[in-house]
Amino acid sequence: MTQPTEQTSPQTISAQSTSTQSTLSQSTLSQSTPLRVLVPFLKLFRRQWLMMLTGLILTFITLLTGIGLLSLSGWFLSATAIAGLSIVTAQMFNFFTPAGGVRFFSIARTASRYGERLATHEATFKLLTQLRIWAWQKLLPLSAANLQGLRKGDLLNRLVADIDTLDHLYLRLLTPLVASLLMIAGLFAFLAWFDLSLALSLCSILLLAWCLLPMVFYALGKAPGRALIDAKQQYRVMLLDVIQGQAELSLFAANRRYLAKLEQAQTRFFSQQTAMANITGLSQTMLILVNGSAVLVMLYLASQGVGDKVPPGPLMALMVFATMASLEMMMPIAGAFQHLSSTLLAAQRVTDVTEQTPAVSFNAQSMLKAHSGALQLHQVHFAYQPNSPILQGVNLTLNVGEKVAILGPTGCGKSSLFGLITREWLSQQGSITLDGHPIADYNEAELRAAMTVVSQRIYLFAGTLRDNLALALPFIQGQPKKAHDERFINVLQQVGLGALLQDDKPLDIWIGEGGRQLSGGEQRRIGVARALLRDAPLLLLDEPTEGLDKRTEREILSLLLNFAEDKTLLMISHRTTALDKMDAVYTIEKGMLHLTNSAI
């Protein structure tokens, strides 16, 4: 998301993407991210402590039953073979109890594995939901100044892919580590019952591996993990730029060049995924080697005797099979610390956005309300960057009920002026007052309630027609979903969308993501319908008929002007339709307003 511009060329897209990627590399990738960056996210985890604890307990039970199943099976097979050496021992041997134990461990392991997957994934999904809500709550107070220089694709990547990456924190880091550590303690207690020295030998090896191998895996996965996050970010940013910039790319015949760059970014992304997959294979190989070495050590030590059993008999098989089964509890450690670097970087990237102090603050204690919409700008100066002025000493007065238009070519600062009036940006000098009070004196809710904005781009969401119209109305807790249906239907008929009201439930029509089920003119009319649903005293029109044919443009402007008969209206445009209905018309040149026509 960059500073507002009314047209973006492929060269601008490339420069901005390169700048953003360079800034990201300098601010995050080149710096070691401390573990304390995870603290805010760990605090959020406390809200799901019961489900997380349930998942941890079930994970421990799954490991316990797995080791118990393999250990008991090894002992049972060995004891059965020895008992079968003679008729007497075969008749004395109790086959039923260990066989029942094997069945119990088999069923318990299956049930606990299912419950563990259910609980841990449920906890993960709830945590991700809370993380997204938390991130949006942090993002909403931020203004355009906070997000200046951040591409839309990069912001989307942080709010979606980076937050998704944080599921490693619980699912692949905390749960496997704690469960395996608890299992080492449990395994020690179980084996020590038979032989303390063998229990110490095996658990010392496992504990050493638990402490050292994660450090090795973290070192191996650190650079590729960061590179994978960076490659994914670059690919998504470029992909979104290519999709959104199709008109400009086609105009400048740059489609083929940008598609080639997109393919290169995709290749880098895939190569980083391959590097991480290679490290996964290597880490698993190292764990298997450690487990195999532990099996050989225990085989040798157990052959000398288990407790007071010399020769050890079936207990030797129990010790060896328990060692083999320990691989299951150690294997997740490879993936856990391999993904730690990417998790830390994802947390840092999300924190870079969420921990910002809003550049535009509102007076939350204010009780001011605007009733007339009278607007005044006095000596307003504004620039996105130092030494690059956009507006220079703008003076403008709109009395109650006046209609004013501002004309100017693309990029002259018209949209920037609207951004200052709506407090999306702050001016460096000058003052803006609404109903005689500085706009900074209003709280955010009242300032928004005082204005209706019809922008050149209408944002429609994946939902029903009713849902998209209801956005224009204040939210009232407990209000029935269909409370305003009659009003919605009347407004749709006013804006010429009666054709959409043919079905039995016309407001339940699904309009699709971005209004893909509708034409451009229909989307624009829904934007106008939203404006008609609001009763704000100040109406701001930002290129409201951009991209429409002359006939539709005249219809929409006529409808808006009739609606604004008793309201204060400010319209910016580079077209001349309906200017004869305005009280005054200004042009903006070199950051200054010039009156070209006045009937005041």
- Distance, in Å, from the CA atom of 106 to the CA atom of 70, rounded to the nearest integer, reads 10
**Percent of the residues in the chain that have a pLDDT greater than 90, as a whole number:** 20
CATH fold for domain 10-354: ABC transporter transmembrane region fold (1.20.1560)
Q: Output the pLDDT for position 313.
A: 77
Q: Output the pLDDT for position 284.
A: 86
**Angle (CA) 420 552 487, round 5°:** 75
> Which residues are within 8 A (CB) of 74 and not within 5 positions of it... i.e. 6 or more apart?
314, 317, 318, 320, 321, 322
Poorest-confidence range of 85-89, 343-347, 405-409, 432-436?
A: 85-89
- Distance, in Å, from the CA atom of 559 to the CA atom of 52, rounded to the nearest integer, reads 56
Q: Output the pLDDT for position 34.
A: 57
What SS3 state is found at 13?
helix
pLDDT greater than 80 at residue 30: no
Condensed to tens digits (0 to 9), the pLDDT of residues 308-341 reads 776 777 888 888 999 998 888 888 887 777 778 7
Condensed to tens digits (0 to 9), the pLDDT of residues 420-476 reads 999 988 999 999 999 999 999 999 889 998 999 988 788 888 888 888 898 888 766
Q: Output the pLDDT for position 22.
A: 37
Q: Output the pLDDT for position 409.
A: 82
- Distance, in Å, from the CA atom of 89 to the CA atom of 92, rounded to the nearest integer, reads 5
Q: Report which of 111, 103, 123 is spatially closest to residue 49, judged by C-alpha positions.
A: 123
Measured over the CA atoms of residue 494, residue 496, residue 502 and residue 504, the dihedral's sign is negative
Peptide bond preceding 389: is omega within 30 degrees of 0, i.e. cis?
A: no
pLDDT greater than 80 at residue 137: yes
- Distance, in Å, from the CA atom of 435 to the CA atom of 397, rounded to the nearest integer, reads 11
Confidence label for 182 from pLDDT (cuts 50, 70 and 90): very high
Where are the CATH 3.40.50.300 domain residues in the chain?
375-473+482-598
355 Cα distance to chain centroid? 15
Mean pLDDT over the full length of the chain? 83
Confidence label for 568 from pLDDT (cuts 50, 70 and 90): very high
CB 538 within 8 Å of CB 570: yes
Condensed to tens digits (0 to 9), the pLDDT of residues 32-58 reads 445 788 888 888 888 888 888 999 999
Confidence label for 15 from pLDDT (cuts 50, 70 and 90): very low
Higher pLDDT residue, 207 or 214?
207
Distances (CA, A) of 310 to 271, 302, 339: 56, 10, 46
Amino acid identity, residue 5?
A: T
Terminal-residue alpha carbon distance, the chain:
39
**Prediction pTM value:** 0.73
Q: Where are the alpha helices (DSSP H) in 339-436?
A: 340-354, 414-421
If you count them, how many residues does the chain have? 600
Condensed to tens digits (0 to 9), the pLDDT of residues 479-530 reads 776 778 888 888 888 888 888 887 778 888 888 777 777 887 788 888 889 9
| DSSP class of 358 | P
pLDDT greater than 60 at residue 6: no
Condensed to tens digits (0 to 9), the pLDDT of residues 288-298 reads 999 999 999 99
- Distance, in Å, from the CA atom of 160 to the CA atom of 348, rounded to the nearest integer, reads 14
Mean pLDDT, residues 204-223: 87
**Angle (CA) 66 294 75, round 5°:** 45
- Distance, in Å, from the CA atom of 287 to the CA atom of 336, rounded to the nearest integer, reads 13
Q: Provide the strand spans (E) within 216-358.
A: none
Q: Output the pLDDT for position 3.
A: 38
In which order are the strands placed within the sheet that holds 451-454? 451-454, 538-542, 568-573, 403-407, 584-589, 592-598
- Distance, in Å, from the CA atom of 6 to the CA atom of 10, rounded to the nearest integer, reads 14
H or E element at residue 378: strand 375-385
- Decide if domain 375-473+482-598 falls under CATH 2.60.120.280: no
CB 586 within 8 Å of CB 594: yes
- Distance, in Å, from the CA atom of 238 to the CA atom of 262, rounded to the nearest integer, reads 6
pLDDT greater than 50 at residue 20: no
- Distance, in Å, from the CA atom of 37 to the CA atom of 82, rounded to the nearest integer, reads 58
Helices 175-192 and 314-325 cross at an angle (nearest 10°) of 170
Backbone angles phi, psi at 278, to 5 degrees: -65, -40
The 3-state secondary structure of 95-116 reads CHHHHHHHHHHHHHHHHHHHHH
pLDDT greater than 60 at residue 8: no
Higher pLDDT residue, 170 or 441?
441
Amino acid identity, residue 261?
A: K
Q: Output the pLDDT for position 478.
A: 61
Poorest-confidence range of 1-5, 75-79, 146-150?
A: 1-5
Q: Output the pLDDT for position 376.
A: 93
Q: Where are the alpha helices (DSSP H) in 410-519?
A: 414-421, 444-449, 465-470, 485-494
Q: Report which of 436, 416, 432 is spatially closest to residue 424, judged by C-alpha positions.
A: 416
Q: Report which of 374, 386, 385 is spatially closest to residue 432, judged by C-alpha positions.
A: 374
Where are the CATH 1.20.1560.10 domain residues in the chain?
10-354
The two structure tokens encoding residue 476: 């009232």
- Distance, in Å, from the CA atom of 315 to the CA atom of 299, rounded to the nearest integer, reads 11
Mean pLDDT, residues 88-95: 73
Q: Give residue for tokens 């299912």.
A: 114
Q: Output the pLDDT for position 569.
A: 93
